[in-house]
Amino acid sequence: MAGKLFGLGVGPGDPWLLTLKAKKILDEVDVIAYPVKEKGEKSTALHIIKEVIDLKGREIAEIIFRMDRSLEKREQCRREAADQLMRILDTGKNVAMITLGDTAIYSTYTYVHQMIKKAGYETEITAGISSFSGGAAMAEISLVEGNEGLGVVSSLKGRENLEKALDCFENLVLMKAGSSMELIREVLSERGLLDHAMVFSNIGLCDEYIGALDMERQYGYFTTIIVKRNGLF
Amino acid sequence: MAGKLFGLGVGPGDPWLLTLKAKKILDEVDVIAYPVKEKGEKSTALHIIKEVIDLKGREIAEIIFRMDRSLEKREQCRREAADQLMRILDTGKNVAMITLGDTAIYSTYTYVHQMIKKAGYETEITAGISSFSGGAAMAEISLVEGNEGLGVVSSLKGRENLEKALDCFENLVLMKAGSSMELIREVLSERGLLDHAMVFSNIGLCDEYIGALDMERQYGYFTTIIVKRNGLF
């Protein structure tokens, strides 16, 4: 009989933000799997769980999700990752695949999950704390209140994308913002919103930064910005 | 010396979705506080934690957040709730205030937190799993992928509010949707999106419902709808 696939979010960085359910599953499954872009790459998700899950003697599997600009090739890569997981499940072992933040929010895990579920395997997903919920708690601010709305966008596709989102909702979360920092600064400055933004960069890592949009800094891929038109506090 | 205030989200219903951090804080604080609208009212948040936190012999405090249509009166009610919490903190006891879902998303807790922090007390917030992340995991769907955006709105204020949000982003979360079901059905039907919506109602309670928008059912206050323009799966 084939094993069961568990997909689970490990939260934004603090190992103590794992849910009780995620810990229970990780303590019990036969194999813990984690995604990497290239063989041998370090995994932030694996680094996060180490503090609260005893990995000694555990079977760990590296699942390769190659990134490619072409959608066709990305889909091929996802099929290969799903195949890799199904080969483990076919040996009868239960597998927990870990992913940063929440499984439902910009997670590559979604794609392999649907493929493996459609192939007839038993599956279960456990939600994790998203980077923006974790960031808001650290900064002791709210994301959305009362009659307001909240918009979440990732990897901005130009000025129009950002302006439309800012027009539509009082609160905005900009994920994977590292490569659009100049555009974001420009648009927020034009709207007088620079003091309404808080940056969360490399949370849980040694160069973690939480604070104002400071253009003197370097920002990595995992940079999230929260913008609140009605003020941060 | 005054006690410290911990605000924490207990997630959408499944007690096992509490974070390790929330459990640790709840196990250690002197007082567990929970919000109610009227004295003696049952608390879903308290009901959720009972299964994983041993409440025997624990000090529990009911904090009254009266609801009122007038903003001025609501603010007065929040000040009274904050005063109630500060009176406990002044005895030197640490207090953990629990709230459904995540503390940063449409949580009344935010208001008392800011008041108590500004009054000089030590405070800390711990994020919880939001109702929409929990719902997406239960239904094994994603909320947002790739180049898409996600909008979150609560207690819809008419057709225009819904149409604008649907125009802006590919994915939409409608929270506290119970009183707008007819409007939502109408607009989704006009746009051919009825099969793109999933309803989550009273999650974790005995009359829990997850499924299509079925107008024969009664929906309570805590009804969340996820709409995905590009399809649910």
Q: Is the pLDDT of residue B157 over 90?
A: no
A72 or B221, which is more confident: A72
DSSP string, B22-87: HHHHHHH-SEEEEEESSTT---HHHHHHTTTS--TT-EEEEEE----SSHHHHHHHHHHHHHHHHH
CA distance B233 to B228: 9
Q: Is the pLDDT of residue B68 over 90?
A: no
**Which tokens sit at B49?**
């934690």
Lowest mean per-residue pLDDT among A117-126, A212-221, B9-18, B140-149? A212-221
**Which tokens sit at A49?**
């769980």
CA distance A138 to A116: 36
**Mean of the pLDDT values across residues B136-160?**
93
What residues of chain A lie within 8 A of the CB of B154, using their CB? 144, 147, 149
Put simply, the answer to whether B14 touches A21 (Cβ < 8 Å) is yes
| Nearest CA-CA distance, residue B102 and chain A, Å | 7
Q: Which of A5, A6, A18, A20 to mutate to test the interface with B (most CBs of B within 10 A)?
A: A20
| Nearest CA-CA distance, residue B95 and chain A, Å | 16
Q: Is the ipTM of this complex over 0.90?
A: yes
CB pairs < 8 Å spanning A and B: 173
Facing residue for B129 by CB, picked from A15, A129, A168: A129
Put simply, the answer to whether A136 touches B127 (Cβ < 8 Å) is yes
| Nearest CA-CA distance, residue B168 and chain A, Å | 7
What residues of chain B lie within 8 A of the CB of A19, using their CB? 11, 16-20, 129
B204 or B163, which is more confident: B163
pLDDT bucket at B45, cuts 50 / 70 / 90: very high
| Nearest CA-CA distance, residue B169 and chain A, Å | 8
- Res A69: pLDDT: 85
Tens-digit pLDDT profile for residues B78-126: 999 999 999 999 999 999 999 999 999 999 899 999 999 999 999 999 9
CA distance A26 to A130: 19
**Mean of the pLDDT values across residues B203-226?**
88
Q: What is the block-wise mean pLDDT of chain A (233 residues), using blocks of 10 residues?
A: 98 96 98 95 94 97 90 92 98 97 94 96 98 96 95 91 94 95 96 96 84 91 93 89
> Above pLDDT 90, what percent of chain B?
86
